[in-house]
Amino acid sequence: MNILVTGATRGIGRAIAEELRACGEVFVCGRNLELLKSFGGAGFCRCDLSSESEVLEEFIREHKIDVLVNNAGEYIYGEIDKMKSEYVERIFHTNLITPIRLISASVGHMKNKKWGRIINIGSISGVMGEANASLYSSTKAGLLGLTKALALELAEFGITVNTINPGWVDTELGLNSIDESEFSKEEIVECIPQRRFVKPEEVAKLVRYLISEDAKGITGQGINLCAGLSVGI
């Protein structure tokens, strides 16, 4: 089984790549060459998915990817009237357009094999919305629509498509987004029913389950892994 995890140099992506080592040949991509080399998996592709998805698309076709994990993403915090056009284009390309293009590059092989797994890493912000993160929320909401439609389109080929929506995760990206917001970490934790951040390993273990044969009946789903955040306070 050939597996590709995007944005795998740190945080959730790295945890997923490490967790899936036991499942097959794991390929990783990201922007940091040294961190890609340090993973030591089946291979890597260094690229910036905000502008260089073509490089990875060719990599996918060459290596016949069976499991695609679209994890790479960007977060931008700010009022909508202060968002420059380059911010809009960058985050939509990274968070939504690139996953679409990578899926398109992957499914030909999956269809021929009559088996495949596509996992998108979304966000609870795409389920609930997040003030001053409208660009991020809308791209992650787009993944949910994509997931539902593709699950129907690809079901007859034995391909499942699902999205995991993490809440606040204990990663560098999560902590950096706190710094950009108007709330402290303590205030945010107080709003989470379980009073904690999700660990990257929790997301990774859910990915491992979703690509297994035990989960072959789960497709078209957006699964909230958010310590209860989506339910209320």
- The dihedral through the CA atoms of 31, 141, 204, 226 has a sign that is positive
Q: Using 50, 70 and 90 to split pLDDT, how confident is the model at 185?
A: confident
Residue 199 phi, psi (nearest 5): -90, 145
Alpha-carbon distance 11 to 135, whole Å?
21
What mean pLDDT is predicted for residues 162-181? 80
Give the pLDDT mean for 118-137: 95
- Helix ranges (H only) for the chain are 11-19, 33-39, 53-63, 85-92, 98-113, 125-128, 134-154, 172-180, 185-190, 200-210
Spans of all domains in the chain: 2-224
What percent of the chain lies above the pLDDT cut of 70? 95
Q: Please give the average per-residue pLDDT across 182-205, as a whole number.
A: 90
Which has more pLDDT, 124 or 182? 124
Q: What is the pLDDT of residue 51?
A: 87
Per-residue pLDDT, averaged over 145-155, amounts to 98
Give per-residue pLDDT as tens, 98-125: 999 999 999 999 999 999 999 999 999 9
CATH 3.40.50.720 holds for 2-224: yes
The residues that are catalytic are 136
Which pLDDT value is given to residue 172? 74
pLDDT at residue 189 is higher than 80: yes
Give DSSP secondary structure letters for 178-211. Answer: HHHSSS-HHHHHHTSTTSSPBPHHHHHHHHHHHT
Confidence of residue 233 (pLDDT cuts 50, 70, 90): low
The token duo for 168 is 């606040």
pLDDT, position 134: 96
Provide the percentage of residues in the chain whose pLDDT is more than 90.
Answer: 86
Q: Point out the least confidently predicted range of 94-98, 107-111, 192-196, 215-219.
A: 192-196
pLDDT of residue 75: 92
Distance CA 174, CA 169 (A): 6
What is the rounded distance in angstroms from the CA atom of residue 141 to the CA atom of residue 133? 12
Residue in the structure block whose two tokens are 């999956």? 110
Position 73 pLDDT exceeds 90: yes
Q: Between these two residues, 165 and 231, which has the higher pLDDT value?
A: 165
What average pLDDT score do residues 197-201 get? 96
Instruction: Kindly tell me if the per-residue pLDDT of 180 is higher than 70.
Output: no
**Chain mean pLDDT for the chain:** 94
Phi then psi for residue 224, to 5 deg, are -85, 120
